[in-house]
Structure 1
């Protein structure tokens, strides 16, 4: 357990909070590895059916702590990318539970791209998103060159990455980068409500939906249809499908188990 990642669970919802507020939640190695460990735990624990990711303090995440990156005795950039950020992005996308991110303040560099890798992005009115890499002579990492163009289009992604413009939460919503913007005081209640709703839904179906969205980036239509058929058959054999259809026919609220 690391002091840099706060973990709490209410019901079936696990909340993970980045906790270096004095450094705007910028990542160091210990923090990155701790987040990886918590995401792995969320995958393995069947009692966890949804995850919230947020930040403590004024910022969501300022990306990489440059003091660590430039320390002669610290990890090299290659190690930071391949051992810190890539595993986090892969874990979020592979996690068979929905990940809701509550962006409470600035999300810059890797912080922005970690947020955009999550399934549902809810931002405070005080939040902003910055592809800050070009300002220090680097390229966008943490999957940004993969995710952002698919959210906002090639032209807009190119401009945001090359110019390093600061994007307000409202502008991010308007360009399709994120799902919802709420007042600062409503951020966590709304995120908790969304995650709570997801945690009571058919978890297998949500996991397979996420897997299909991941696969759609590479598949042609025929391959995607075949994968839909495979996963639909799997979901059709689940307890939650039987419960969902029974509840519909009996005109009652379903009680899904995530099985």
Structure 2
């Protein structure tokens, strides 16, 4: 009778300690830690081992989920999520995975930015749909900067090309100039030179007529460079044609 009573009491104590240990073990497992229970009862120790195993499973599952979310967020270049209220496993998985994902994003961003800027400067675009989010974001930013450089260089080239063409000058050597400058200069020079040539012919006709008529040269200050050059050249030619040839008497 005494044995039965004692056994019952002992079992009750074991079960109570087991539950207490199980709760403590599960809490430690969820937090990814371990507590030395060498001084605790057998029931407590057994419960702790079982509870920690369950808690560790929960921790690992949460960590896997956090790692997936952290990687996704980091590789997208987004700000990290607020982890308050998330279990320890999720926080641990998210934090380390986010750091790795964001580092990858940043590296790809710089690579894409360099390529985009090079393409923008050359006034072209490359399909990056198969590249990472970081690369694509960097490319867009870099190309925008490159396009600004291209447009500024093109504007400068247009100004210089127009000036050279309208002055009837030989076109400049564009080797070493950026693509934008070359494109702007070339097209503007052609237009300017065409205008010069047209004005030159108009001025040439007027100058020839004035010279052959022995008129006083016209005031050309308001005329274009092409007109002035054509007029001046033809006027002297026309005037020279009007000088009579004198025969020498022996």
TM-score strictly above 0.5: no
Structure with the larger strand share: 1
TM-score (norm 1): 0.16
Structure with the larger helix share: 2
* Higher relative contact order structure (alpha carbons within 8 Å, sequence separation ≥ 6): 1
Q: Which has the larger radius of gyration?
A: 2
TM-score (norm 2): 0.16
